[in-house]
Amino acid sequence: MRNRLVTVIFGSLVLWGLITYFLISDQPVNDERNTARVSNQISKLEKRVKEEIALNQELLQDITEDKQNRRKVDTVNANADKKQRKANHVDKNKILLEKKEKDIDNGDRNVQQSETEPAHSSETSHNVPTKGKLPNGSPIIAILVFSCNRVTVQRCLDQLIRYRPNVEQFPIVVSEDCQHRQTAEVIGRYGNQIIRIQQPDQSDIEVPPKEKKFKGYFKIARHYGWALNHMFFQLGYDTVIIVEDDLDIAPDFFEYFLGTYPLLVSDNSLWCVSAWNDNGKAGLVDENAADVLYRTDFFPGLGWMLTRQLWTELSPKWPKSYWDDWIRQPEQRRNRACIRPEISRTRTFGKTGVSNGMFYERHLKYIKLNTQFVHFTRMNLTYLLKDNYDINFVNEVYQSTVVSFSELKTGKVVAPGAVRIPYYSRQAYKNTAKQFGLMDDFRSGVPRTGYRGVVTFYYKGRRVHLAPSANWNGYDITWS
């Protein structure tokens, strides 16, 4: 519209210019006819100019009204936006208030409690920010402590806090189950040194009639499923170390996991790092080899590290009970291994529990806890990567001298270095394991600490490999 107005005004000026030029340049004419003609032309021109001026005024009025209407629309939109922002602000404050009231109703807790979610939920936190790295690039590794009805959780928490090198790098999250008042009071004393979460589903749990006495295992599986979902999918951690409330830890517990973390995230053939050696009793470990680590096909547990990626895989099919034996099944393990130490970085003091002390008196209470601090983060641990480890391990095992238990026991072995004791059947393995005091059971066909069927330990100053034949072709699940 503005371009049209400018054009009209410019045209009017041109017409006036032509008229003026015509009047000045034309010679005087005495003829009345010419005079009348000129007057008639001037009248027509004046009429056209007036029409153009009237049209310009209308256009100008239209432009003015259009501007006013636009201002009104902008004002209305602005007011609407302002009202919407106020409404959003009110809604947000309402949500925060409701959430705060809900937290108060849940009790005096340090961490907000999420809504109940089933342990089998396959939903992942697609929009939850992950807590993976510190500003300097170091990994954030959360410690998840499972607690129920042991007030001795204090012993575990005291050690974790004492040995923790960095609060930001190793946040401690205590997950409470069982609604045990005395245990909750103990945990509450730690204030902001820890983060507290509570398993919300305290309902009775359905158990098959034949397994009623094992109800505790069902509750533990439910607690594990909920807590790990919360850690990875609600709190957003990328890496978690699981600790149970009856574990002592070694002074280099955190250093051990920090040093092995790069292996876990870079080698797809690994799926966990464990602080535990199932056969780590005094007399079966080399106390001068605190820095030695191994690969194992047997899932050790009892202080172990996993990633968000693994939990995303396991959570949709998490079992209702016996989670540790379930995780050892071939369908879950998928030929992956864990890292484990020569000397354990954890030791259990929980004789009483859902297992009723099974294995405790014969094995668990004799596990040696490491006392020598090893700087794993300064070591080159690439020998544990599968491509490096398998070649060296197989060569060491099957090039070692074959001996019998009696020869070792009586000290009749002359050859230096590691030795090998063969086994060719399930019963042969169990007989030999019992002679040395090893744990002799199998889980999904895998012996404890076994790697490629080989169980490695230390006996009377010598490395011993209890090994199947060199043409071993996998575990036999019927051996369990």
Return the closest-CA partner of residue 159 out of 182, 131, 190, 184. 190
270 SS3 class: strand
Distance of CA 467 to the CA centre of its chain: 37
Count CB-CB contacts under 10 A for residue 99: 11
Terminal Cα distance for the chain, rounded = 90
DSSP type of residue 58: H
324 is catalytic: yes
Distance of CA 408 to the CA centre of its chain: 47
Structure tokens at 457: 């330990």
Per DSSP, what are the bridge partners of residue 248?
347
Structure tokens at 444: 């999904």
Q: Report the DSSP pairing between strands 346-348 and 247-249.
A: antiparallel
Structure tokens at 210: 């034949």
Return the closest-CA partner of residue 178 out of 323, 353, 364. 353
* From 103, 201, 248, 324, the catalytic residue: 324
Distance CA 264, CA 338 (A): 9
**Cα dihedral 469, 441, 349, 147 sign:** positive
Catalytic residues: 324
